Amino acid sequence: MPEGTPQIATLPDGTEIHFETHGTLGNPAIFLGPHFFMSRSAEDSAFTDAWVEGLRHEFLLIVADYPRGIGKTGHPLGLAYSPSIAVQECNCIVDAAGVRQFAWLGYSYGAALGIQLACRTERVVAVAAGGFPPVNAPFGALIDILMNAAEAPDIPAKERSMYLTAVGFYRPLLEWPEHPRIRELKIPRLVFMGDCDRAQGLPHGASLPLADALRTSENDLRELGWQIRWLPGEDHASAIRPEVSFSAVYEFFKKSLGARAATQGDVSAGR
């Protein structure tokens, strides 16, 4: 199938998840989770096209409209969504892409999702988590902020469903034994974060000390084998920019996945 051709993964309930692949089948696979999406505009704040262009020559990339309710994918689950459902549905997507094992690249919410996948399925062989701490994450505060946003008057229905889906995902994690489960992870794993990250971009101007949360657990995570890359002077909105963080992520995947050597190219220009 030609590169970038829209494809569909059909869930057991008939929901169609829209996705595309870039690169060559047989190369190590990377699922680009949220905030990278198949449906994206020229103003895409995740700079998905530049990330795809920088990685597709050595890796098979999967980019989806996921979770449900994003882009062309319908039937959002809202509060019924959960990490367990995320595992089932992401497995369905990679099955449809013809992939058995895959690495994960996600940012913010997408990083939290990738950490859960890594802890819940042996199919994940490496994870790069941007803008989210693997432990000591402020799930309770996130839930409160997102629920308040979802209950605001006159909020568009699609935006409301997005917030409720995130709440559904985070709620089970309030009781999740994060420290024991994180200790069990042995796959290559990277956290990259701006040292000024306060979750800039949350609804209603809310903020959360994500960088501080990572600092409190940094030594323990390093002892457990996590790679941590601080991005000086960057915040939650800027650290996803490819000219800021691509190099660290690329080198991590190149080393972790054993991809064939190739010229990296100028990803900041999207070439």
In tens, the pLDDT along 46-59 reads 999 999 999 999 99
Asked whether residue 261 carries a pLDDT value surpassing 60, the answer given is: no
Question: pLDDT exceeding 90 applies to what percent of the chain?
Answer: 92
> Mean pLDDT across the stretch 51-75?
97
In a domain, 86, yes or no: yes
The pLDDT score that the predictor gives to residue 42 is: 85
What's the pLDDT band for 188 if we cut at 50, 70, 90?
A: very high
- Helix axes 157-170 and 109-120, enclosed angle (nearest 10): 40
> Which is nearest to 71 in space by CA: 158, 201, 160, 170?
158
Give the contacts of 221 (CB within 8 A, at least 6 positions apart).
Answer: 134, 135, 182, 191, 214, 228
Question: pLDDT exceeding 70 applies to what percent of the chain?
Answer: 94
DSSP structure class, residue 120: H
What's the pLDDT band for 260 if we cut at 50, 70, 90?
A: very low
The pLDDT score that the predictor gives to residue 4 is: 83
> Which is nearest to 22 in space by CA: 32, 12, 33?
32
DSSP code per residue over 200-259? TT-GGG----HHHHHHHHHHHHHHTT-EEEEETT--TTTTTSHHHHHHHHHHHHHHHHTP
> Mean pLDDT across the stretch 97-102?
97
**Kind and range of the H or E run holding 163:** helix 157-170
Q: What is the pLDDT of residues 197-250, one digit of tens each?
A: 999 999 999 999 999 999 999 999 999 999 999 999 999 999 999 999 999 999
In a domain, 170, yes or no: yes
Buried-state track 165-182, b at ≥16 Cβ within 10 A, e below 16: bbbbbbbebeebebeebb
In a domain, 180, yes or no: yes
Residue 251 belongs to a domain with what CATH number? 3.40.50.1820
Spacing of C-alpha 199 from chain mean position:
15
The pLDDT score that the predictor gives to residue 1 is: 62
In a domain, 62, yes or no: yes
> Which is nearest to 60 in space by CA: 259, 248, 268?
259
In a domain, 262, yes or no: no
Asked whether residue 264 carries a pLDDT value surpassing 90, the answer given is: no
Q: Is the peptide bond before 179 cis (omega within 30 degrees of 0)?
A: no
Tally of domains in the chain = 1
In a domain, 55, yes or no: yes
C-alpha triplet 252, 131, 44: angle, nearest 5°: 95
- Provide the residue range defining the domain that includes 50: 7-257
DSSP structure class, residue 199: -
The pLDDT score that the predictor gives to residue 251 is: 97
In contact, 138 and 208? CB cutoff 8 Å: yes
In a domain, 14, yes or no: yes
Q: What share of the chain is helix, strand, coil (3-state, %, to 5)?
A: 40, 15, 40
Higher local confidence (pLDDT), 256 or 270 = 256
In a domain, 94, yes or no: yes
Asked whether residue 181 carries a pLDDT value surpassing 60, the answer given is: yes
